Every structure is written in C-alpha cells, then in structure tokens.
Amino acid sequence: MLLFVGLGNPGSQYRHNRHNIGFLAIEAVARAFRFPAFKAKYAGQVSEGQIEGERVILLKPETFMNESGRSVGEAMRFLKIPLKDVVVFHDELDLEDGKLRVKLGGGNAGHNGLRSISALCGNDYRRVRLGIGHPGDKSLVHHHVLSDFKPDERLWVNRLCDAIVAQVPLLVKGEDMTFASKVALDMSKP
C-alpha cells in the first residue's frame, strides 16, 4: 500500500495557486484511475483505489500547508504505512515551470509543508518536486506561491498533470528515475 500526498491549501480561494500544484496532480491521478470521490478523513481529503494492482491512498491535507505533517502522520499511523511508502507531490521553486524531479529525503529548501512532514513523520519519504519557477527575488516568493497560475500557465500545468498520470504506474512500481525521465520526455513533445 502506498500513500500519495498532494500538498496545497484547502479552500476555493487557493484552488489555482502555484502552492496547490500538489493537489492538482493528485486530483488528476484520481480522475484518470477512477478513484471514488474524496472524503474527509485524517484531517484531510482521502480517496483510495488501485494502480497497477497496488492499493494507493490519495491524501490532500486540509490543515493548511504549514501543518501538513499532522494529516500525513495521522494517515500513516492509522493505516500503518511506513515512511518509505509515502510519496509527496509538492511545488518546487528551484525548478523551472513544468519540470519534475523525484528524490528520497533531503532538505526541505524552505518549504513549510515538507518541513512539517519531516518534523512529525520523518525525513526519508519520496518527493515528487513539481517546478513552479522562482520569481527572481526572495521578497517575492510568498506572493508568487500564493498567486494563481495565469491562464497561459495552466496549459503547462495540465500537460504536466497529464504526463504524471501517464507515467504514474512507474512511480507505483518504485521506478522513480524512469518515471521522471518519461515525464520529462512527455513534457518535451510539442
């Protein structure tokens, strides 16, 4: 069993924020693999289904970004999911728009959602880093992550979510580098 966590902030006012790209990715997976509607559980929204014969729990914490670890920890404890089977989809300032990288553990690079999960659950979980680009000045970061994707940016966001969906069976099988390479290849196509 795997726990896929999409990071974001709850509420319609945040729906299309850059900070919510993790939610968008998880929702795309749920739609594509016909998971049932999300339901309130573990201080978040949860849906459960199968990908490649593997039971996958999708979680969107509703604790706001800074306290994501509370929701993730609650789900992990109740479902008895080890940290190695947790995959967190999150926005990444240090990657260009539409780029994706996967890594195990590491630093949190100032990301409050990751910091919360690491503090409450441990650090050695898989991270799917979804590039949203950096605004160029540290003082603009807060506004940047909490601003909506512009209509033309939503095109690459949708393409990225589609590429994730197409390749997510590789992620489920633990083939992280192949998953990342194939998403990059899908994103490079015109």
| The one catalytic residue among 19, 90, 111, 144 | 19
Helix axes 68-79, 112-121, angle to 10 degrees: 40
Give alpha helix (H) positions in 54-150. 68-79, 112-121, 141-145
Q: Are 9 and 18 in contact (CB under 8 A)?
A: no
Tokens of 143: 């506004």
144 catalytic? Reply is: no
CA gap 150, 106 in Å, rounded:
31
* Main-chain phi, psi angles of 138, to 5 degrees: -55, -35
Q: Active-site residues: which are they? A: 19
